[in-house]
Every structure is written in C-alpha cells, then in structure tokens.
C-alpha cells in the first residue's frame, strides 16, 4: 500500500501506471534506453520514466498493480512469454522491449476483444483512456461476428451525480480497488465469473442505495467512462 512519499510523487499530467516508489535506484534498459528507477518499481513505471508509454487499461499510478487487462505485456530478455509490465518488478540489469510485431499483435487482439463488447456507436468521438489505448495501438474496429454483449444490461442512474453503464465496463477492477485503496469504503465488488462478471455496489444494489459515499474515486479512475459524471450529458443518458 502506498506510503506518504509515494503519494507525493504523483504527477497531474503523467500516469506512471503503477505507484511511484521510494528506495535505492535500480538500472534497467527499456527499448535500448537505460533508466534508473527506485527499487520496487514496475517495468511499466520504468518505461514511463523513459517516456515509453506502454498501453494499459487496468493499471494507473494511484492504485496498486492488478494485472488483468493483458494490454501492457512486454518482452524481457531471459524470460519466456510476455509478462505484464504492471505486475513485473524491475531488477538490476533487466533488458525490456516494449515494442515488437508480436507484442503489437497481442495487444491488438486484446483490444479487439474488448471492443467486440463495447457500444459500437461510441467508438468514434469518445475520449476515455480506452479510446486513447485504441488510438495508441491502431485499433478502431474488430473482426468478430455479432455475439452476446452487455448492451442489454440495465444502466444504473440511481446516483444523482454519476451513472454506471455496464455495456462500457471491461471489468478491470479499478473502481473496486479505488473504493478500497483510496476511499476505504469497500462498497464495490466484482460479482460472477467470466462473461457474467460485473461491478456491483453493496449487496448488488443500485449505487444510491448502497453504502457508496459518492466520493467519485471510482468515476475518476474508470478507463472506459462506464462510470461517468451525469453533468457531462445534456438531458438523459441513453445508449446509441
């Protein structure tokens, strides 16, 4: 959990992806560039320090790493496979590659899958972190046939200030973690498994009726605008 010095190192215009750490420096090489970061930092953090922004969805520097979205994978010399850069901690002399054809393909695949269950009419004109990640990876459509989606899930508009549209939710857990780690209220959970997994407030209640205190931490951290301020919409929110 973040200590005081780490909170103070947060920057407004940079998202390091994982919390800044204190401690002695470790040198790593990211895409051929050498960078020194405090011990305990993630590969993602080190990359951000060397201005290599690895695409990410479930990671943000105000929350501890989670490692579920599989978008931030990288190649590390001497290791097999494609570890997630958010949950991989740097070690001295580590050599990391954040870009390769294979990585590109894998990331594209991840995003296309998310996109296949995202309201199609909101792909264009959106400005969420999800949209940024798509732009970064060159994804704007997906090859999948129409299949089961969350477009029929009910929108929770019970809170006067924000709404939750499950059709845009990618179940990255950031809202749940923000409620726990930042706010300390523990009002949100992920219920169900696989396709059925969803964000639930309280005992699967509408947000307004749950123990949610409307601090806005979940809205602030949501990468897809599934949780979003009502004040950004003229009139009632509707899909499509």
Partner 1 sequence: MANPTKPDKQVITTCAYCGVGCGFKAETHQGRIVRMIPWKEGKANHGHSCIKGRFAFDYYQSNDRITTPMIRASIDDAWTPVSWEKAIQHAASELRRVQAKYGTKSVGAISSSRCTNEEIFLVQKFARAVLGNNNIDNCARICHSPTQFGLSATVGWGAASQHFDSILQADVIMIVGANPTEGHPVFGSLMKRRLRQGAKLIVIDPRRTESVNSPHIKADVHLNLRPGTNVAVLDSIAHVIIREKLYNEEFVRSRCEWDEFERWAAFVSSERYAPESIGPQAGLSPELIRQAARLYASGPNSAIYYGLGVTEHSQGSTGVMCLGNLTLSCGMLGREGVGVNPLRGQGNVQGGSCLGSWPHVFSGYRFVTDDEVRASFEKDWGVTLDAEPGLRLPNMFDAAIAGNFRGMFIMGEDPVQSDPNQGHIIQAMRQMECVVIQDLFLNETAKYAHVFLPGSSSLEKDGTFTSAERRVNRVRKVVEPLAGYQDWEIVVLLMNAMGYPAQYADAGEILNEVARLSPAYKGISFELLDRIGSAQWPCDENAPEGTEVLHRKTFPRANGRGTFMLTEYVPTAERTNDTFPLLLTTGRILTQYNVGTQTRRTENNRWHAEDVLEICEHDASVRGIKDGDRVRIASRFGSTELRAKYSERVSGGVVYTTFHHAETRINVVTSDLSDWATNCPEYKVTAVEVVKVEIGSSAKKAKKKKRDEVVTA
Size of interface with partner 1, in residues (CB under 8 A): 44
Q: Characterise 125 by phi-psi region: left (phi > 0), alpha (psi -120 to 50), beta (else).
A: left
The CA-based diameter of the chain, rounded to the nearest angstrom, is 55
Three-class secondary structure of residue 97 per DSSP: strand
Q: Which of 136, 181, 189, 206 binds partner 1 (CB under 8 A)?
A: 181
Judged by CB, which is closer to partner 1: 72, or 179? 179
Tokens 């749950």, residue?
210
Least distance to partner 1, CB of residue 221, Å: 9
Tokens 């790493």, residue?
65
H or E element at residue 200: strand 198-201
Does 126 engage in binding with partner 1 (CB under 8 A)?
yes
Contact 56, 44 (CB under 8 A): yes
Least distance to partner 1, CB of residue 203, Å: 13
Does 24 engage in binding with partner 1 (CB under 8 A)?
no
Distances in Å between the alpha carbon of 132 and those of 41, 67, 194? 24, 19, 25
Distance CA 143, CA 45 (A): 32
Least distance to partner 1, CB of residue 11, Å: 7
Piece of the chain touching partner 1 by CB under 8 A; list 5-13, 22-30, 50-58, 98-106: 5-13
Does 186 engage in binding with partner 1 (CB under 8 A)?
yes
Piece of the chain touching partner 1 by CB under 8 A; list 48-56, 68-76, 108-116, 122-130: 122-130
Which residues form the interface with partner 1 (CB under 8 A)? 1-4, 7-8, 10-12, 62, 119, 121-122, 125-127, 160-162, 165, 181-186, 208, 213-217, 220, 225, 228-229, 231-234, 237-240
């Amino acid at each position: 959990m973040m200590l005081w010095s780490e909170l103070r190192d947060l920057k407004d215009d940079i998202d390091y992806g994982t919390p800044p750490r204190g401690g002695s420096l470790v040198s790593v090489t990211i895409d051929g560039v050498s960078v020194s970061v405090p011990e305990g930092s993630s590969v993602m953090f080190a990359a951000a320090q060397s201005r290599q922004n690895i695409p990410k969805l479930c990671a943000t520097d105000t929350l501890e790493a989670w490692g579920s979205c599989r978008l931030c994978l990288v190649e590390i010399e001497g290791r097999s496979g494609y570890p997630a850069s958010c949950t991989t901690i740097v070690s001295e002399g580590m050599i990391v590659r954040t870009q390769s054809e294979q990585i590109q393909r894998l990331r594209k695949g991840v995003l296309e899958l998310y996109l296949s269950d995202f309201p199609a009419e909101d792909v264009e004109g959106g400005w969420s972190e999800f949209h940024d990640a798509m732009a970064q990876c060159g994804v704007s459509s997906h090859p999948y046939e129409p299949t089961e989606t969350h477009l029929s899930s009910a929108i929770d508009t019970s809170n006067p200030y924000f709404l939750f549209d499950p059709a845009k939710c990618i179940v990255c857990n950031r809202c749940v973690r923000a409620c726990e780690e930042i706010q300390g209220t523990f009002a949100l959970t992920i219920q169900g498994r696989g396709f059925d997994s969803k964000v639930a407030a309280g005992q699967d209640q509408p947000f307004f009726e749950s123990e949610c205190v409307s601090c806005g931490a979940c809205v602030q951290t949501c990468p897809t605008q599934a949780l979003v301020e009502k004040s950004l919409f003229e009139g009632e929110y509707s899909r499509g």
